[in-house]
Structure formats: structure tokens, C-alpha cells
Amino acid sequence: MNERRLKKILILAGAAATLLFCLGPFVYMLATALATDPEFLGPGREFVPTLAHFHSVLFSESVHFLRYLLNSMVIAGLSALVSVFIAALGAYALTRLAIPGGRSILLIVLGISMFPPVSLISYLFKLMSALGWMNTYPALILPYVAWTLPLSLWILVSYFAQVPRDLDRAGLVDGCSRLKILLRIILPVAAPGVFATFLLAFIYAFNEFLIALMLTTDQAARTIPVGIALFEGLHGQVAWGEIMAAATVTTIPVVVLVLIFQHHIIQGLTRGAVKT
């Protein structure tokens, strides 16, 4: 066996191990969702496929699964949108305008983002109760925007810094205001970064559990992660089949989003802007 072949085998083995590590849980989730008996791996059990779990998750009224999914998508979508927009304004200012202490602002933002959410939870609870916002969308969107903002800002700053400064100057000479330069030139040129940031913020908000658990009480605003955690089986036991089916369906919007944006993220939009 020559060295080249060995190398190839090692690469394949590494790739297989990585794939197994990443996709293994997903496969197990899917299999459990499709199995009649969630303990199908145990001794003496067998795998009998069924769609019953999916059916009950999607169509039984009492589960409210589709409502949770809708809540999650709207809340995560709006949070990501607002977060990216505010972060874009901030990133533009930090990369383009002569702001005194711009560097320290970024570091302070980073520092603040390290506060564990759990330390804020009781305050948030009191605040939202006082505002009368408990169990509503804004109760989650507001904290999610604040929570994802540092991340969005840092990513966008790094993307905006790569957009040639001459494009701003050209925009100014061509009669744009600063806001117009951001909207018409910088955002489209940095689109791959903007999409990536939106996706990350969306996934963060979509996965968030603790705040959602504390600030929602029922299907009016409850999100998927909380919904799944509070899933109750018919006879008091843990409904693994339904939980796995729900989790499987939940991955779909995220995967679809990634597939839609993938094209934009990979496309090198800055190509041809300036001679390098």
C-alpha cells in the first residue's frame, strides 16, 4: 500500500467519523420518530416503521405543535431581522465613521454579551410582568434582539471592514446620504455576510430555551424548544416517538433557510468592485 493510498483512506475515515458524529444523533432521532417502539434498539425488540408519531404531532389539536412552530419562526425571524438591521447600522458607523473609542465600544459589547442569560432571567420576568407582555411575541423578541446583537455586530463589522472604502467615497460623490450608502451599496455588497449573520441570529433565537420557558405560559407565544420539552405523553410516560417526530419537523425550516441562502452566502459578490 503506498503512501498516497493510505492518505486517502485516512481522509475518508476522518470524514466518516465526522459525519457519524454530526449526523448520528439526527439519524437516531429520525429512526426513533419512525419506530413504533422507541426502545427498538433494546434486546428482543424490533424496528417497526410507522408514521403515527408524525401524524399525532402534526394533526392532533391538543399538542399545538404547528402553533409552536409558527411562534418560533415568527419570533426568531423578527428577532434576527431587527438584530441584523441594528447591527448593520452599528457596524457601518464603527467601520466607516470616525467614532472616538470605536475599538473599546466593540470590546464592551463583547464583554456584555458574556453575561449569562440566567442572571437576567428574574429581572426579565419582572419587567415583562410589569409591562403586561407575558406570553406575547414582544416579550421574547426584545430579549432575543438584545441577546443576538453582539454576535451580529461582531460578524457584520468583520464583513463591512472588507468592503472597499472607495465604494463609500464613490457613493458620497454620487450624491448618496450615509444611510443610502448603507442600504444601496454596503448591504448588497456584503450580502453574503448579512445572510450568514441573519441565519446565525435566527438559529440562536430559534434554539433559545431558558427565556422562552420563563416568559411564556401557553401556545399563544410558546416556542418549539419549550413546547418539545413540555411534551406530555398520553399515559404519563415520556413520549419519545412524538418528541423525536416534533424535533425532526423542527429542523426543516432551518435546513430550508440554509439551502435558500446558501447560494447567496457562497457567491462572491464583491468580485469586480475594485482592482485588487
Partner 1 sequence: MNIYYEKISKQFKTGRGVAHALRALDLTIPDGQFFIFLGPSGCGKSTLLNLAAGLDAPTAGTIRFGDQVVAAPQHKIFVEPGARNVAMVFQSYALYPHMVVFDNIAFPLRNTRAAEGDIRQAVQRTAALLGIENLLQRKPGELSGGQRQRVAIARALVRQPAVFLMDEPLSNLDAQLRSATRAELKRLQAEMAVTTLYVTHDQTEAMTLGDQVALLKEGRLVQLGTPEELYRHPADPFAATFIGSPPMNLIPASLQAEAGALFATVADFRIALPDRLKSKAEGLTSRQILLGIRPEHLRLTQYGLLTGTITYTEYLGREIIYRLDVAGHELLVLMDRRELRIGQGVGLTFGDEDLHLFPA
In the complex with partner 1, which residue's Cβ is closer, 17 or 172?
172
Phi, psi of 49 (to 5 degrees): -70, 145
- Which secondary structure element, helix H or strand E, spans residue 187, and what is its range? helix 187-189
Is there binding between residue 121 and partner 1 (CB under 8 A)? Answer: no
Which residues make beta-bridge pairs with 49? 35
Taking CB under 8 A as the criterion, which residues in 22-41 touch partner 1?
Answer: none
Helix (H, G, I), strand (E, B) or coil at 49: strand
In the complex with partner 1, which residue's Cβ is closer, 109 or 187?
187
In the complex with partner 1, which residue's Cβ is closer, 117 or 164?
164
Residue environment code for 110-123, b if the CB has 16+ CB neighbours within 10 A, otherwise e: eeeeeeeeeebbee
Is there binding between residue 236 and partner 1 (CB under 8 A)? Answer: no
Sign (positive/negative) of CA torsion 216, 144, 207, 109?
negative
User: Measured between alpha carbons, how far is residue 115 from residues 103, 150, 197 in Å?
Assistant: 20, 11, 21
In the complex with partner 1, which residue's Cβ is closer, 157 or 186?
186
Is there binding between residue 271 and partner 1 (CB under 8 A)? Answer: yes
Under a CB-based contact definition with an 8 Å cutoff, are residues 196 and 88 in contact? no
Under a CB-based contact definition with an 8 Å cutoff, are residues 200 and 123 in contact? no
Is there binding between residue 172 and partner 1 (CB under 8 A)? Answer: yes
# residues near partner 1 by CB under 8 A? 23
Which region among 54-62, 163-171, 204-212, 222-230 touches partner 1 (by CB under 8 A)? 163-171
Is there binding between residue 117 and partner 1 (CB under 8 A)? Answer: no
CA angle 256, 194, 259 (to 5 degrees): 15
Is there binding between residue 50 and partner 1 (CB under 8 A)? Answer: no
- The one among 48, 166, 230, 256 contacting partner 1 by CB under 8 A: 166
CA angle 247, 253, 259 (to 5 degrees): 125
Helix (H, G, I), strand (E, B) or coil at 61: helix
Which region among 15-23, 85-93, 114-122, 160-168 touches partner 1 (by CB under 8 A)? 160-168
Task: List the x/- string, 177-216, binding to partner 1 by CB under 8 A.
Answer: x--x----x--xx-x-------------------------
In the complex with partner 1, which residue's Cβ is closer, 1 or 98?
98
Is there binding between residue 270 and partner 1 (CB under 8 A)? Answer: yes
Is there binding between residue 100 and partner 1 (CB under 8 A)? Answer: no
User: Measured between alpha carbons, how far is residue 48 from residues 8, 39, 181, 238, 256 in Å?
Assistant: 38, 11, 59, 19, 29
In the complex with partner 1, which residue's Cβ is closer, 237 or 276?
276
Residue 113 CB partners (closer than 8 Å, separation 6+): 147, 150, 151
Is there binding between residue 169 and partner 1 (CB under 8 A)? Answer: yes
List of residues contacting partner 1 (CB under 8 A): 164, 166-167, 169-170, 172-177, 180, 185, 188-189, 191, 269-275
